[in-house]
């Protein structure tokens, strides 16, 4: 059965592994008893992605990507296990959506003649303003 992590984004169930671990940080006695943090592991090798998207996903994942090709997302921001589970799935969905987007290619442009003239006019006006502040020359 596929898991829907975002509207229209389904992942095979066998590519996802959920581990529930104890949450780090302060919290008193309860934090030592309850496994509310979630560690989501996602296998990038099994999903059907083109090479460009797979490479971009590896770049965006950064240190969350293991040598075996698994993306590990740890979620422990929220207090409940279900909230952390949803947070982990949301972060994985954002990562996959960002990997599918192709960045806009920047084409270098040159300033127009009008913009150059406006810039120089502004400089001349500033020079004139500052020169009027000076003391007049004594004859």
CATH of the domain at 94: 3.30.160.20
pLDDT value of position 10: 76
Query: Does 93 reside within a domain?
Result: yes
- What's the rounded Cα separation, in Å, for the pair 74 and 88? 7
Kindly report which listed range (15-19, 24-28, 70-74) carries the lowest average pLDDT score: 24-28
Query: Across the chain, which distance is largest between two alpha carbons, in Å?
Result: 95
Which of 9-18, 28-37, 98-107 is most confident?
98-107
Alpha-carbon separation of residue 88 from 41, 116, 117, 132 (angstroms): 10, 50, 53, 64
**46: CB partners within 8 A, 6+ apart:** 12, 14, 15
Percent of the chain with pLDDT over 90: 39
Query: Does 12 reside within a domain?
Result: yes
The model's pLDDT over 27-57, given as tens digits with 9 standing for 90+, comes to 677 777 888 889 999 888 877 778 888 899 8
Give the total number of structural domains in the chain.
1
Tell me the average pLDDT across 69-83: 89
Q: Quote the tokens at residue 113.
A: 């003649």
By CB atoms closer than 10 A (0-12, 13-18, 19+), residue 15 is middle
Task: Name the residue range of residue 56's domain.
Answer: 2-100
pTM of this prediction? 0.69
């Amino acid at each position: 059965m596929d898991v829907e992590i975002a509207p229209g984004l389904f992942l095979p169930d066998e590519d996802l592994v959920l581990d529930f671990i104890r949450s780090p940080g302060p919290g008193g006695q309860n934090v030592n008893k309850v496994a509310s943090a979630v560690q989501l592991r996602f296998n990038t090798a099994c999903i059907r992605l083109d090479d460009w998207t797979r490479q971009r996903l590896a770049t965006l994942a950064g240190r969350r990507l293991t040598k075996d090709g698994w993306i590990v997302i740890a979620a422990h921001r929220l207090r409940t296990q279900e909230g952390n589970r949803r947070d982990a799935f949301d972060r994985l969905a954002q990562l996959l959506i960002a990997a599918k987007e192709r960045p806009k290619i920047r084409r270098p442009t040159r300033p127009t003649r009008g913009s150059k003239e406006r810039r120089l006019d502004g400089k001349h006006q500033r020079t004139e303003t500052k020169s009027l502040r000076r003391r007049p020359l004594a004859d």
